């Protein structure tokens, strides 16, 4: 149970980091109950190749500070539409707008629990 709480907390922190660095439509999903390979997905949209490089740099620094290491070393980013950073318990997906729209990861993993949504963070709260 403790591992699930840690995974969720790291996923939310990662999502907040992406939001702070201007990634769009950032969401974190807990999918541990329906996935055999990870606990959480963090999904964000980048706006340009320069933006993607910056996000990856910030993520690498964040992961190193938190003693997390990607399962694979990422190759040089030239012109990519989708970068996947697999940290075991957390998998980070950075997509351009076209790929994000095409793959619709949130719809594919719709039975997962949304634990962070940039939309909710930036929406004004409404009272009934």
Instruction: Judge whether 105 lies within some domain.
Output: yes
The pLDDT value recorded for residue 126 is 43
β-bridge mates for residue 85, sequence order? 92
Instruction: Judge whether 124 lies within some domain.
Output: no
| Residue 1: band (very low, low, confident or very high) from pLDDT cuts 50, 70, 90 | low
Instruction: Judge whether 126 lies within some domain.
Output: no
Does 67 have pLDDT greater than 50? yes
| Residue 125: band (very low, low, confident or very high) from pLDDT cuts 50, 70, 90 | very low
Instruction: Judge whether 50 lies within some domain.
Output: yes
The pLDDT value recorded for residue 68 is 86
- Coil, helix or strand for 98? helix
- Both structure tokens of 106: 């949130």
β-bridge mates for residue 28, sequence order? 42, 116
CATH of the domain at 70: 3.30.460.10
Number of domains the chain contains: 1
Please tell me the pTM assigned to this model. Answer: 0.88
Instruction: Judge whether 26 lies within some domain.
Output: yes
Instruction: Judge whether 54 lies within some domain.
Output: yes
The pLDDT value recorded for residue 118 is 85
Q: What is the pLDDT of residues 3-58, one digit of tens each?
A: 999 999 999 999 999 999 999 999 999 999 999 999 999 999 999 999 999 999 99
Q: What is the pLDDT of residues 101-124, one digit of tens each?
A: 999 999 999 999 999 998 765 554
The pLDDT value recorded for residue 121 is 58
The pLDDT value recorded for residue 77 is 64
**Domain range holding 74?**
2-119
Instruction: Judge whether 42 lies within some domain.
Output: yes
β 113-117/90-95 pair status: unpaired
Instruction: Judge whether 47 lies within some domain.
Output: yes
Q: Report the distance separating Cα 115 and Cα 11, nearest Å.
A: 8
Q: Report the distance separating Cα 25 and Cα 100, nearest Å.
A: 10
Helix (H) or strand (E) holding 20: helix 2-20
Residue 46: name the closest of 15, 76, 25, 72 by CA.
25
């Amino acid at each position: 149970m403790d591992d699930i709480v840690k995974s969720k907390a790291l996923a939310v922190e990662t999502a907040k980091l992406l939001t702070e660095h201007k990634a769009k439509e950032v969401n974190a999903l807990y999918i541990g109950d329906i996935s055999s390979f990870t606990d959480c997905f963090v999904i964000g949209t980048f706006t340009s190749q320069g933006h993607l490089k910056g996000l990856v740099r910030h993520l690498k620094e964040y992961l190193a500070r938190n003693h997390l290491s990607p399962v694979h070393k990422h190759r040089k980013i030239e012109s990519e539409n989708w970068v996947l950073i697999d940290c075991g318990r957390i998998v980070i997906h950075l997509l351009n707008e076209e790929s994000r729209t095409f793959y619709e990861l949130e719809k594919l993993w719709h039975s997962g629990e949304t634990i962070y949504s940039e939309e909710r963070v930036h929406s004004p709260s409404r009272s009934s």
